[in-house]
C-alpha cells in the first residue's frame, strides 16, 4: 500500500474513532481518565468526592461509607485512557510520563497511607481481546512498550504477513537521504487499569485519594474562538474576552499562534457504579494565570476569583463527563532570528 494511501486511511479512522475536531495540523490529542470503579457491586456509597483540576495535575479525594452491617472487600479499579497504536504513531500527543505502564503518574493513598496497586494490561482490536495471541508471538501487549519494534522485526515473515493482513501490524518502506528503511508499528489498542482490593468496614468510612497527570490536548486558535466557545458552552461574552486578550498580547509572525486552547476530559459517570448518588460533590478548577479563560458545560459552576472556579452539589448523579478547555497565551519561547 502506498504511504499516502495509508496515511489517508489512518486519518479517516481517527475522524471516526476520536471524533477529534482538528483545526490545525499540530492539534494535540486529549485522552480521558476519571474516577474509581468497583469491579463488584456492594453496599458502599460515595459519601463525598472532592475533585481539583488543573492542566498539570488532577487530585481526587473520596470518602466512602459502607452502609451495611457486614464488612466488604471489593476490588476497585482506576482505568487509564485507552492507547491506540495508530494515534501514538501519527498524531501529536503528549504523555505526561515516559513510564510505559504508569504513563499518567497515578498515585494512590488510603486513609493517608500510600498504596501500590497492581496493573492489568490487555490488548484489543476493536472489541476482540488479543492479549494471549500477542504473548504467544513474543510481542509486547502495550503499544507503549519500548521493546515493540525489535519484537516485530524478529517475527517470521509468515507471521508478519498474517498480522499485516489483519491490520494488527503496519510495515512500510521509507527512504531518507537516499537510504531505505522500515517503518513498523502496532495497530491495536492497549487498555491498562490499576486495581486493588479495598476493605470497607461495616458501618464505617474509608478515605481514598489519588492524583495523576492528565493527557492534555489542544492547538492554536485560528479564528475568533467561536468554534471552541460553542463546543464548551461559551457565550458572546467569551468571544469578547478572547478578542480583548488577543488585542493586548504581542503580535507574532503567525498571528493565529497568539492563543492556545488546552483541553482535558474527566470521566465522571463511573461514579454511578457505586451505590446511590454522590452525596456531596465539590469541584475546583484552577487556571494558570488571571488572563486565562476557562470554559466547561458543567451547570452552575461559579468563578470565585480570576483563576479559580467552584461547583458544589448534593446527591449528584452525573449523566455526562466533564470537558474543560482553558484558553491562554502561547507560552512557547520565540525562536531567535537566524536559527530556523
Centre a 10 Å sphere on the Cβ of residue 183 and count the other Cβ atoms it contains.
13
Whether the pLDDT of residue 26 is over 60: the answer is no
Is-contact 215 138, C-beta < 8 A? no
Centre a 10 Å sphere on the Cβ of residue 28 and count the other Cβ atoms it contains.
19
Among 106, 120, 98, 95, CA closest to 60 = 106
Instruction: Give the strand pairing for 302-303 and 205-212.
Output: unpaired
Q: Would residue 108 count as lying in a domain?
A: yes
- Choice between 332 and 239, residue whose per-residue pLDDT is larger: 239
Q: Would residue 143 count as lying in a domain?
A: no
Confidence of residue 16 (pLDDT cuts 50, 70, 90): very low
Burial 71-91 (b: 16+ CB within 10 A, else e): ebebebbbbbbebbbbbbbeb
**What's the whole-model pTM score?**
0.84
Q: Would residue 102 count as lying in a domain?
A: yes
Q: Would residue 35 count as lying in a domain?
A: yes
Counted domains in the chain:
1
Q: Would residue 176 count as lying in a domain?
A: no
- Choice between 273 and 116, residue whose per-residue pLDDT is larger: 116
Which cell is 268 given? 465522571
- Choice between 125 and 250, residue whose per-residue pLDDT is larger: 125
Q: What is the pLDDT of residues 155-170, one digit of tens each?
A: 999 999 999 999 999 9
In degrees rounded to 5, what are phi and psi of residue 188? Answer: -135, 180
Residues 6+ apart with CB under 8 A from 39: 74, 75, 76, 77, 195
Check residue 257 and give its pLDDT: 59
Q: Would residue 303 count as lying in a domain?
A: yes
Average pLDDT, the chain: 85
Looking at residue 38, which CATH number applies to its domain?
2.60.40.3680
Q: Would residue 174 count as lying in a domain?
A: no
Query: Looking at the DSSP assignment, which residues form a beta bridge with residue 118?
Result: 195
Q: Would residue 194 count as lying in a domain?
A: no
Check residue 339 and give its pLDDT: 37
HEC-encoded secondary structure of the chain: CCHHHHHHHHHHHHHHHHCCCCCCCCCECCECEECCEECCCCCEEEEEEEEEECCCCEEEEEEEEECCCCCEEEEEEEECCCEEHHHHHHCCCCCCCCCCCCCCCCEEEECCEEECCEEEEEEEECCEECHHHHHHCCCCCCCCCCCHHHHHHCCCHHHHHHHHHCCCEEEEEEEECCEEEEEEEECCEEEEEEEEEEEECCCCEEEEEEEECCECEEEECCCCCHHHHHHCCCCHHHHHHHHHHHHHCCCCCCHHHHEEEEEEEEECHHHHHCCCCEEEEEEEEECCCCCCEEEECCCCCEECCCCEEEEEEEEECCCCCEEEEEEEECCCCCCCCCCC
Q: Which domain holds residue 272?
A: 3-117+202-329
Which cell is 184 given? 513498523
Amino acid at each position: 500500500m502506498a504511504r499516502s494511501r495509508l496515511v489517508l486511511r489512518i486519518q479517516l479512522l481517527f475522524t471516526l474513532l476520536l471524533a477529534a475536531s482538528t483545526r490545525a495540523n499540530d492539534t494535540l490529542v486529549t485522552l480521558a481518565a476519571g474516577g474509581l470503579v468497583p469491579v463488584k457491586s456492594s453496599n458502599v456509597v460515595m459519601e463525598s468526592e472532592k475533585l481539583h483540576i488543573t492542566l498539570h495535575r488532577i487530585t481526587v479525594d473520596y470518602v466512602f461509607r459502607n452502609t451495611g452491617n457486614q464488612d466488604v472487600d471489593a476490588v476497585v479499579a482506576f482505568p487509564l485512557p485507552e492507547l491506540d497504536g495508530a494515534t501514538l504513531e501519527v498524531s501529536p500527543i503528549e504523555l505526561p510520563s515516559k513510564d510505559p505502564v504508569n504513563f499518567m503518574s497515578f498515585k494512590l493513598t488510603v486513609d493517608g497511607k500510600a498504596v501500590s496497586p497492581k496493573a492489568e494490561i490487555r490488548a484489543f482490536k476493536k472489541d476482540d481481546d488479543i492479549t494471549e495471541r500477542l504473548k504467544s508471538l513474543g510481542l509486547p501487549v502495550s503499544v507503549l512498550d519500548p521493546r515493540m519494534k525489535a519484537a516485530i522485526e524478529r517475527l517470521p515473515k509468515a507471521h508478519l504477513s498474517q498480522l499485516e493482513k489483519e491490520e494488527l501490524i503496519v510495515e512500510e518502506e521509507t527512504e531518507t537521504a537516499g537510504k531505505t528503511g522500515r517503518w513498523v508499528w502496532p495497530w491495536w489498542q492497549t487498555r491498562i487499569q490499576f486495581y486493588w482490593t479495598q476493605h470497607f468496614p461495616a458501618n464505617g468510612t474509608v478515605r481514598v485519594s489519588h492524583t495523576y497527570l492528565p493527557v492534555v490536548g489542544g492547538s492554536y486558535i485560528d479564528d475568533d474562538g467561536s468554534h471552541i466557545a460553542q463546543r464548551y458552552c461559551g457565550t458572546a461574552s467569551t468571544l469578547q474576552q478572547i478578542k480583548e486578550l488577543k488585542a493586548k498580547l504581542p503580535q507574532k509572525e503567525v498571528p493565529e499562534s497568539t492563543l492556545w486552547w488546552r483541553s482535558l476530559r474527566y470521566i465522571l459517570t463511573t461514579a454511578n457504579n457505586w451505590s446511590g448518588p454522590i452525596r456531596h460533590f465539590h469541584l475546583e478548577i484552577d487556571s494558570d494565570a488571571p488572563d486565562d479563560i476557562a470554559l466547561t458545560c458543567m451547570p452552575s459552576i461559579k468563578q470565585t476569583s480570576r483563576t479559580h472556579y467552584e461547583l458544589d452539589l448534593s446527591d449528584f448523579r452525573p449523566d455526562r463527563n466533564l470537558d474543560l478547555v482553558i484558553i491562554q497565551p502561547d507560552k512557547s519561547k520565540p525562536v531567535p532570528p537566524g536559527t530556523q
